[in-house]
Structure 1
């Protein structure tokens, strides 16, 4: 059992909370039984190291069984060691080191997608992770990060996806103009979510949302630039029936993606 929280190996794992270290190593940090369980179920080949406390393995025997089935060795660590490795205050007994696995936009749009979420310069880790989770739940084929977006493998992003990161392809570092061109070439309409757009309900009624669609969502503070809005096929607003000043980006994205999902499956 690894018991010294100041050991070099522990510090090496903990440094993955830093973007520079993630970029240098091509690895990222995974925490908690839910995320580790999803990685074991869907992409076990990505796990480089898996650490757990004896208590956690007793509490989550399904995770231990999944590791055995995937032939992944679990290294026992003490609670202080796990706390030193983790980015969270309460990592729930599991920490893993995983290999990064971004997908190219060529592969995404070469696969005849029906629903894609494109996030232009989305900076908030919680928003990004939640939108990936919502895209997964809505049955989207992929997520694309364009512009200067938050790092996909930021620990807060990874946690907010609650494992959905392992369910659908995500491309990073794309240029929005290139993404729009590839989407159209693949037969997708491009719709931008923006408060200045047409009411989302109209597209739901006229059947437009049944078409393959790439939804474009902009930065939390600025939205999309006017020049970018001029490049898409349509600009759509989620109606606000109450007194809220605005809608959270992740919430608006969830509504748009689900409206497309409902229409495409209708």
Structure 2
């Protein structure tokens, strides 16, 4: 037996995170664990799983996190509206990742708008983020697809978005540097 490793959402907010991944109703354990791993690798300070998301302690999710679950703060079961309101109150800009977004990730980087505290909302791979959730965010951003692929999978899009934010934050001098081997 062992205890769950969840971090209370209020504790995450109190730490004033600069980069957060929010998984809104993500159901695939492999995607959830992989996004957690990508968030950790990109230097995010936390991951939030909303209510109706997969159990992060599902063996497939734990395996896909490749250990990141054991040291990156993760809040689970947070209602989407509460996650958005709490992060906004903490001064974090909220971006929804959506293939049909009206803003392009490259354009956002070129405009210099991504250097501050940012939370990315990622939805269910099959149906994305509902309109009411997208409406809660500051912008809906798409990852540009330059080839003929129809779309990116959730974890791949999350990696691209999180690394873009981390790079912009480093360039702005505001991201905590994490080094490793």
Tell which structure's C-alpha radius of gyration is larger.
Answer: 1
Q: Report which stretch shifted further, 173-182 or 98-107.
A: 98-107
Task: Write the distance in 2 (CA, Å) between the matches of 1:178 and 1:125.
Answer: 23
- Hey, what does 1:186 align to over in structure 2? 90
Shift of 1:193: 0.2
Shift of 1:99: 2.1
- Hey, what does 2:8 align to over in structure 1? 104
TM-score (norm: length of structure 1): 0.63
Task: Write the distance in 1 (CA, Å) between the matches of 2:104 and 2:5.
Answer: 37
Alignment gaps of 5+ in structure 1: 1-26, 28-97
Secondary structure of the residue aligned to 1:239 is: coil
Q: 1:246 aligns with which of 145, 151, 163?
A: 151
Work out whether 1:113 is the aligned partner of 2:20.
Answer: no
- Hey, what does 2:68 align to over in structure 1? 164
- Hey, what does 1:70 align to over in structure 2? none
Secondary structure of the residue aligned to 1:195 is: coil
Secondary structure of the residue aligned to 2:100 is: strand
Task: Write the distance in 2 (CA, Å) between the matches of 1:230 and 1:99.
Answer: 36
Shift of 1:105: 0.8
**Aligned Cα RMSD in Å?**
0.8
Task: Write the distance in 1 (CA, Å) between the matches of 2:87 and 2:53.
Answer: 19
Shift of 1:151: 0.4
Q: 1:19-30, aligned counterparts within 5 Å?
A: 27=1
Contact 2:50 2:80 in 1 (8 A): yes
Aligned structure 1 segments of 4 or more residues deviating by more than 6 angstroms: none
Work out whether 1:257 is the aligned partner of 2:148.
Answer: no
User: 1 or 2 for the larger relative contact order (CA 8 Å, sep ≥6)?
Assistant: 2
Query: How many residues get paired?
Result: 170
Alignment gaps of 5+ in structure 2: 172-181
Secondary structure of the residue aligned to 1:158 is: helix
- Hey, what does 1:174 align to over in structure 2? 78
